[in-house]
Amino acid sequence: MKKIAAVMMSLVMVMALLAGCGSKDGGGEKGTLNVYCFGDYFDPELEARFEEETGYDVVVDLFDTNEEMYPVIKNNTADYDVICASDYMIEKLLSEDLLAEINYDNVPNAANVSESIKPFMEGFDPGMKHSLPHTWGTYGIMYNKTMVDGEINSWDVLWDEKYEDKIVMPNSMREGFMLAAKRLGYSINTTDENEIKAITDSLIEQKPLAYSFDNDRAREIMIGDSAAMAVITSGEVLYSKEYNENLEFVVPEEGTEVWTDCWAIPSTAKNKEGAEAWMNFMLDGEIAEINFEYLTYAIPNTKIADLMDDPVLSPSEEVLSRCETLKNLGSEVDDMYSSYWKKYKAA
């Protein structure tokens, strides 16, 4: 759900270590705010602006996946005041009492959150008591219209042998299972082992047709005409089309995943007011616009609704009616998913 390549992530981490593990001497007038976030997920120039406007020093540490972030927060192995996490991980952290409730008196810009996102947030954080949205979107198929035949409207196309070695598949367990589940008519949150086995068998059948298995690199592969289609998040589409006018995006007719990445405050946060100031800052209309121009991901903020006037960024009610949000399935089902994912990867 972010745009950084793995090499850039490594470079940033090395630079942080060389600078003393990202720490700053002293701290701002109001102390230090420690942020834990997906890589390259807001305009980096906003750090200085937040510091200037609020009096906090900001230290940002990066992670690549929700699963990498989770044990850090679970085991409190580092002090973080505000984190960015996806819907199902917010639900998981909440179920384990690892998130603090937001004091909305400190976040007046929460009034800017778009109504369209609230039903989805209700599914993992009722009443938005513990999280506020940063970006959101859907998964679908981005395809090069000069490299495919006819209309693309179904996940079935990923199993079409004529596109052998021209398909980019996601290197992500939940998204991989998601698309195969939807193709087979199952929920993306199925806990039925027979269905999970059928999903795995379907993915194993498709595997020889894949050109590659990529998340962050998928858009670059498509921009460079190296593949005919890729499973990708809607946030990558506008950027990609700027560089390749032949690219289009579709949410398959069987449905897909709608995701939300949110800011939240760990229950162990030492600077909760600073975290709420960060949330309030990110929800400001001007800041949301700056982030949108930088990310090209949909930002559910009423102050920039006109910028979201695009069917990719603002799906219709009909499209959203075919979407599901990933749920926290519990450790037992997580283990089952992981076991079948390993079978798929080893096939």
Any idea which residue has 């086995």 for tokens?
197
Rounded to 10°, the helix 331-346/193-206 angle is: 20
Cβ–Cβ < 8 Å for 184, 198: yes
pLDDT of residue 27: 58
What does the DSSP assignment read for 238-291?
HHHHHH-TTEEEE--TT-EEEEEEEEE-BTT-S-HHHHHHHHHHHTSHHHHHHH
pLDDT of residue 91: 96
The encoded tokens of residue 185 equal 């008519």
pLDDT of residue 53: 97
pLDDT of residue 67: 86
- Could you tell me which residues come within 8 angstroms of residue 59 by beta carbon, excluding any fewer than 6 positions away? 22, 23, 24, 32, 33, 34, 35
pLDDT of residue 57: 97
Please list the rounded mean pLDDT of every run of 10 residues in the chain (347 residues).
43 41 56 94 97 97 90 96 97 97 98 94 95 97 96 96 97 94 98 98 98 92 98 95 97 96 98 98 98 96 96 92 92 95 96
Any idea which residue has 């035949």 for tokens?
149
Q: How distant is the alpha carbon of residue 114 from its chain centre?
A: 18
What does the DSSP assignment read for 285-331?
HHHHHHHHHHH-SB--BGGGGGGG-STTTS--HHHHTTEE------H
Cα(38)–Cα(221) distance, integer angstroms = 22
pLDDT of residue 104: 98
Cα(289)–Cα(46) distance, integer angstroms = 12
Work out whether strand 167-169 and strand 247-250 pair parallel, antiparallel, or are unpaired. Answer: unpaired
The upper half-sphere exposure of residue 138, i.e. CA atoms within 13 Å in the direction of its Cβ, equals 23
The encoded tokens of residue 297 equal 């991901």
* Bridge partner residues of 188 (DSSP): none
- Could you tell me which residues come within 8 angstroms of residue 120 by beta carbon, excluding any fewer than 6 positions away? 87, 136, 258, 260, 325
Degrees (nearest 5) of the Cα angle 118, 120, 122?
70
Cα(102)–Cα(90) distance, integer angstroms = 14
Cβ–Cβ < 8 Å for 189, 124: no
> Which contacts of 95-101 are long-range, i.e. CB under 8 A and separated by 24 or more positions?
95/328, 97/267, 98/73, 98/74, 98/266, 98/267, 99/130, 99/131, 99/264, 99/265, 99/266, 99/267, 100/130, 100/265, 100/266, 100/267, 100/269, 100/272, 101/129, 101/130
